[in-house]
Structure 1
Amino acid sequence: MDQALLAGREVHDCWNSIGVRGDKSCPELARHAHCRNCPAYAATAATLLDRDQRGPAGGDWKRDFAAEAPAGQREMRSAILARIGQEWFALPILLLDQVTGHRRIHSLPHRRSPALLGMVNVRGQLLLCVSLAHVLGIADESMSDERRRMIVIRCAGGRVVVPVDEVQHHCRFHEGEVLPTPATVRKAQAAYVTGLLRVAQGTAALIDGDRLAEAVEQSLA
């Protein structure tokens, strides 16, 4: 991907114009079958998510992100959709550091927590890998195809890797679009789910990023 594009932090959503969500004229579709399998799709996700917390002018990019939003969109929120087993979750963008392909998990001897899966090498740095399925109380953690991904999240103690079965597009939503959390939500998830979002896949549980990050850190204690 063009380095000038990365420097400007622009996003070229080609899947919406010439990909599976557009006119399907992209020549790469013949080789990859679906945009989510294309390196350009993964690179765009990295452009969106793999950002420093400090902007190029030394400012706080989280503050700038909010400040630059048009007046009519300042109550909008952003999330990325991730699937674990059969369930979809909306993870707040500000919780995320980057999305990467599935990588080998190196086991650790004498693990103190069942949620701790091991260590993962991400761009030359070894990071702890935690089972998000375990934290959220999801029994079926079947990750067996090419869609599986790893998400690096930010916690107070540093970055942590969580594996998921699939990552879909970044979405924006208004607070008024969040549906109440149903009484049937699992007890283990109730502390982290703040509501439901209607998405193309059906519904996604909206996650409280701060609570989830705290739970992930506690799972390492």
Structure 2
Amino acid sequence: MIVDDCWRRIGVTGDRSCAELERHIHCRNCAVYADAAQRNLQRPVEPEYREAWARELARPEPAPAPTDAAAMVFRIGAEWLAVPVALAATVAPLAPVHRLPHRATGALLGVVNVGGRVLPALSLAALLGIATAGVPAPLGRHTFERLLVLELNGQRVAVPVAEMHGILRYAGSALRPPAATLEHLPSPLLAGVIADGAIEAGLLDGALLEREVKGLLR
């Protein structure tokens, strides 16, 4: 089937010499363009084309990868982290942190009011050695800083995070070991790395995190 693609010669993608352009502004508003589109959609389908698509659609879909674990994924600084979902109690709006006397430095930031309950506020950035200075503020309608409340050995603590990604289900067998970089070795608190599309998150070891937090709160 031959289509006169006049829009490529005298239309908007050609030399614009078509007399109808003054009235239609753009070729897509012209009846000639619309007629060509209809003829293109109604053209006979080649047998080879039908056979190729028949083979493609007959191909069985791959079985979904089995998942046996879940983690809550969040961002601190430029780093994506995750904790076992059983440790994530709730997510709350960011609130002012009140410093504690003689505890102005380190991973224990102070205390914070979460839903009427005063909780210790911890900095995972300080605990893991993550730099947060100079990291651009999060952008997007649903991207903002929050408090992730963790329950560790019956003790709830609030962790400021730059962004929440949500719950990620993964296969325990797919857990990858954390990689060292030229700048630093991976934190001993990391159990491994899990992935969700382009996001790769360091999964924190729940037992080691509980032990570390217990030492901070003494």
Do they fold alike, i.e. is TM over 0.5? yes
What amino acid does structure 1 have at the position aligned with 2:150?
Answer: I
The answer to whether 1:177 aligns with 2:174 is yes
Equivalent in the alignment of 1:165 = 162
Cα distance in 2 for partners of 1:151, 1:143 equals: 20
How far the C-alpha of 1:176 sits from its partner, in A, is 2.0
What amino acid does structure 2 have at the position aligned with 1:86?
Answer: A
Task: Please provide the CA RMSD for this pair.
Answer: 2.4
Cα distance in 2 for partners of 1:118, 1:143 equals: 25
TM-score (norm 1): 0.60
Count of matched residue pairs: 148
The answer to whether 1:220 aligns with 2:211 is no
Structure 2 residue corresponding to 1:204, chosen from 201, 205, 211 = 201
Superposition map of 1:61-76 within 5 A = 76=68
Cα distance in 1 for partners of 2:154, 2:215 equals: 10
Structure 2 residue corresponding to 1:99, chosen from 60, 70, 91 = 91
- Residue ranges of structure 2 left out of the alignment (5+ in a row): 1-64
Cα distance in 1 for partners of 2:120, 2:151 equals: 12
Structure 2 residue corresponding to 1:90, chosen from 82, 92, 109 = 82
| Secondary structure class of the residue paired with 1:215 | helix
The answer to whether 1:193 aligns with 2:190 is yes
Cα distance in 1 for partners of 2:120, 2:154 equals: 11
Cα distance in 1 for partners of 2:154, 2:176 equals: 32
- Residue ranges of structure 1 left out of the alignment (5+ in a row): 1-71
How far the C-alpha of 1:179 sits from its partner, in A, is 1.5
Deviations 1:39-74 (A, max 9, x none): xxxxxxxxxxxxxxxxxxxxxxxxxxxxxxxxx96x
Q: Is the 8 A contact 1:96 1:151 kept in 2?
A: yes
Equivalent in the alignment of 1:132 = 124
